[in-house]
Amino acid sequence: MKDRIKMKIPLVEMDGDEMTRIIWKMIKDILLTPYIDLNTEYYDLGLERREATKDQVTTDSAIATKKYGVAVKCATITPNADRVKEYNLTQMWKSPNGTIRAILDGTVFRAPITVNCIKPYVSTWKKPITIARHAYGDVYRDVEYKVEGKGKAELVFTSESGEVTKQTIHEFDGPGVILGMHNVDKSIESFARACFNFALDQKQDIWFATKDTISKKYDHRFKDIFREIFENEYSKKFKAAGIEYFYTLIDDVVARVVKSEGGFIWACKNYDGDVMSDMVATAFGSLAMMTSVLVSPEGYYEFEAAHGTVQRHYYQHLKGQETSTNSMATIFAWSGALRKRGELDGSSDLIDFADKLEAASIKTIESGIMTKDLAVLADIKEKKVVNTENFLREIGKVLDEMMVK
């Protein structure tokens, strides 16, 4: 056995909840620590720890990401009323991803992991579609108000110099609801640049859509900023690379995406990206095969799986029942983070390991060994459905062979 790979600079490791927390440890034990002398700065974002630290641990982990540049995150529970009861929480803590995104800003890129035995539900799709989701503002940073009865709702802006602008939102005759949301040019600009840079990097077209015909100021601002930045900074580079920037309306783009061949980047506003990434992931086969990376304008990276903590499987696991949870997206979060660490630190060993880990994972599935979620989709004669742990052990066998070469 060769010496284990050394890491010069730590990765920020953000542990999480439920089934993905179980998988997290298994991935480290079975696939990582046998080959790498793992150097991580560990933050436990499990809900108990968030409660104990009044969620300070989440903020600390985001600040550490700014220090070290690369983080890998496990899925975490976003508390709702049920979770407040279940975990006896003193507060309904905010979504960790929301908190991290608010600190790092940036854009989330989500792409499916494709394997030759799983055909997308959309029969025209031949290549992966990457969703670029704006990770700041809109409904995720909103202020909401429940109107109890008659009254007037107004939109008021007070400038720094004290000038007041007022608009009536609605004169309520009875109960209703109000929502106030915002975005800032700076964040939209960095979203646009992140998308254009990523398109150049991947040599793929980029599509963007909003509802600017209805939202004549808010969504229109997104459209204008994208156009200005594209024309001033990117149009020549795009021409040289032979790729295009294409803008249309959100409903139109949905129709076009479904009829497309894939192989492009689809830039989405925050909420659209939330919704559409689940659609794209499912249509490519499984939410368990979708990777996700947050890229900040300063060039900090946070890698994670796109799916949640797989609660239903966790409760089976707690009852002592066997689970067959797919760890692919979490493995690819680790490989993505290790590769980026390798690129930033000039460690070809680390990059090589990340490549092999991904190749071994894909090879395992393509050889017919897979978890339950994929078994129902895979078009392959000899299928062997394995449990959560054995799937990782099977990948480990393939990886072992690759690593001695």
Residue 197 interacts with ligand NAP (CB under 6 A): yes or no: no
Question: Under the criterion CB under 6 A, does residue 75 sit at the interface with ligand NAP?
Answer: yes
- Rounded to a whole number of angstroms, the minimum distance from the CB of residue 270 to ligand NAP is 14
**Interface with ligand NAP includes 335 (CB under 6 A)?**
no
CB of 100 to ligand NAP, least distance (A): 10
Q: Contact, 399 vs 356, CB < 8 A?
A: yes
Helices 56-68 and 96-104 pack at an angle, to 10 degrees, of 40
- Indicate whether 326 belongs to the interface with ligand NAP (CB under 6 A): yes
- Strands (E) across 45-175 are located at 70-73, 107-112, 130-134, 143-147, 151-158, 164-172
In the list Mg ion, ligand NAP, none, the entry touching 5 (Cβ below 5 to 8 angstroms by class) is none
Which one, 206 or 331, has the nearer CB to ligand NAP? 331
Q: Which residue's beta carbon is nearest to the bound Mg ion?
A: 274
Residue 280 near which of ligand NAP, Mg ion, none (CB within 5-8 Å, type-dependent): none
Spell 101-123 as b/e; 16+ CB within 10 A means b: bbbbbbbbbbbbbbbebbbbebe
Scanning 142-217, the segments in alpha helix (DSSP H) are 185-202
Which among 53, 91, 97 has a CA at the least distance from the CA of 74?
Answer: 97
- Chain positions 79 to 98 lying near ligand NAP, rule: CB under 6 A, are 97
Min. distance of Cβ 306 from Mg ion in angstroms? 8
The reply to whether 272 sits near ligand NAP by the rule CB under 6 A is no
Among 118, 287, 294, 350, contact with ligand NAP (rule: CB under 6 A): 287
Classify burial at 283, counting beta carbons within 10 Å of its beta carbon; exposed 0-12, middle 13-18, buried 19 or more: middle
Measured distance CA(291)–CA(300) in Å, rounded: 17
Q: Which range in 50-58, 164-172, 241-249, 301-309 contacts ligand NAP by CB under 6 A?
A: 301-309
Applying CB under 6 A, which residues contact ligand NAP? 75-78, 97, 287-288, 304, 307-312, 325-326, 373
